[in-house]
Amino acid sequence: MAARRSPFMPTYLETILLSLYPATLILGSLFALLDPVSRAAPYNTATQSHYANTAPSYFAKKNNVFNIFFVKQGWAWVTFSYLFFLFTHPSTGPVGSLSVTPKRIRGLLRYGIVTLWWIFVTQWFFGPAIIDRGFLLTGGQCDLVELADQGKVDMDNTRQFVTGVTCKAVGGKWKGGHDISGHVFLLVLGSMFIFEEVLHVVSNSTRVKEERTIFMSDGAVKSAEVEAERAASESSGQWTLGAKIVLGVAALSLYMLLMTAAYFHTWFEKLTGLVVAFSGIFVVYFLPRAVPALRQVIGLPGV
């Protein structure tokens, strides 16, 4: 009998998904390099974006509606669509009832950890968020020179603006350091979280049989199915409205990732956004396959 795959290794569908992200970033970045319209449009290297009045596409403008109502509120979209999926899918509990089953609790815990990672990286991390701390640690700061020249602000106050948001709010320029792409981070984390949660619906409703492997407490490697309840795996493949909506949110995230890759940020900013997002996904969806104690608390989707 062939040896089982290591629990740390992605399944077939996961491999496709994981490669989709770097492929999207490369495709978008190559488009920016090769598209004559984008090349001809002036680019502001300080803000890593095109100027609104000469932007090469609607999606190259910061105020496009998809950016303002979707990405800038991205976690709210992920939250509501996931909760709707979790509380209406038959594999997690009775349909049409908001009863809190062990599977729903474990789904909420996985969502909670991924959300905590989003909060730490983009909103707050015992003070400034990780993105802002990284920016300051790599030599960045809030540049208030122009405002100081106009006598509107005292340059000695520079250090008090320790987040990109507060700096931009007073009219300063957030420059000099490495700015992990918040858009890439959010779009990858949110959509990969959704795909990991819904993958069992896809694999149980099609012929693509996915085998996630896990380490048992005695060290043996087995299929995750050994811990699944039979009734649950049968209902797992149902395409509910919640499953379609949540996948729609993930699909739009992928499209916005492509637009972000084409019109914003440096290669390195995109790469760090991707790596930081993947690290959160690894802890919630891959580590539990190898650590039975963690698996007992947060579970595996669909099991």
Give the residue numbers marked as catalytic.
183, 265
Return d(Cα 26, Cα 5) in angstroms, integer: 29
Return d(Cα 222, Cα 14) in angstroms, integer: 18
Q: Is 73 in the site for ligand PKZ (CB under 6 A)?
A: yes
Binding residues for ligand PKZ, total number by CB under 6 A:
28
Q: Whose CA is closest to 137, among 173, 180, 166?
A: 180
What is the contact mask toward ligand PKZ in residues 207 to 246, using x (rule: CB under 6 A)?
----------------------------------------
Among 24, 67, 141, 191, interactor with ligand PKZ by CB under 6 A: 67
Return d(Cα 194, Cα 136) in angstroms, integer: 32
- The string of DSSP letters for 204-239 reads HHSS-----EEE-TTS-EEEGGGGS-HHHHHHTT--
Our CB check for ligand PKZ shows the closer of 186 and 281 to be 186
Q: Is 186 in the site for ligand PKZ (CB under 6 A)?
A: yes
Our CB check for ligand PKZ shows the closer of 157 and 266 to be 266
Among 4, 5, 62, 222, interactor with ligand PKZ by CB under 6 A: 62
Q: Is 37 in the site for ligand PKZ (CB under 6 A)?
A: no
Return d(Cα 286, Cα 14) in angstroms, integer: 11
Q: Is 4 in the site for ligand PKZ (CB under 6 A)?
A: no
Amino acid occupying residue 237: G
Our CB check for ligand PKZ shows the closer of 11 and 264 to be 264
Our CB check for ligand PKZ shows the closer of 64 and 141 to be 64
Our CB check for ligand PKZ shows the closer of 95 and 109 to be 109
Q: Whose CA is closest to 181, among 115, 250, 114, 122?
A: 122
Among 24, 115, 213, 272, interactor with ligand PKZ by CB under 6 A: 115
HSE on the CB side for 176, CA within 13 Å? 14
Task: Decide: helix, strand or coil at residue 252.
Answer: helix
Q: Which residues have CB under 8 Å from 41's CB, separation 6+?
A: 50, 51, 54, 55, 56, 60
Considering only residues 263 through 302, tell me which ones interact with ligand PKZ, judged by CB under 6 A.
264
Is 263:35 a contact under the CB 8 Å cutoff? no
Q: Is 71 in the site for ligand PKZ (CB under 6 A)?
A: yes
Our CB check for ligand PKZ shows the closer of 213 and 274 to be 274
- Beta partners for 144? none
Q: How far is the CB of 39 from ligand PKZ (least distance, A)?
A: 19
Q: Is 46 in the site for ligand PKZ (CB under 6 A)?
A: no
Please provide the size of the chain in residues: 303
What is the number of the residue whose Cβ is closest to ligand PKZ?
182
Query: Would you tell me which residues interact with ligand PKZ (CB under 6 A)?
Result: 49, 62, 64, 67, 71-76, 79, 109, 112-113, 115-116, 122, 164, 168, 179, 181-183, 186, 256, 259-260, 264
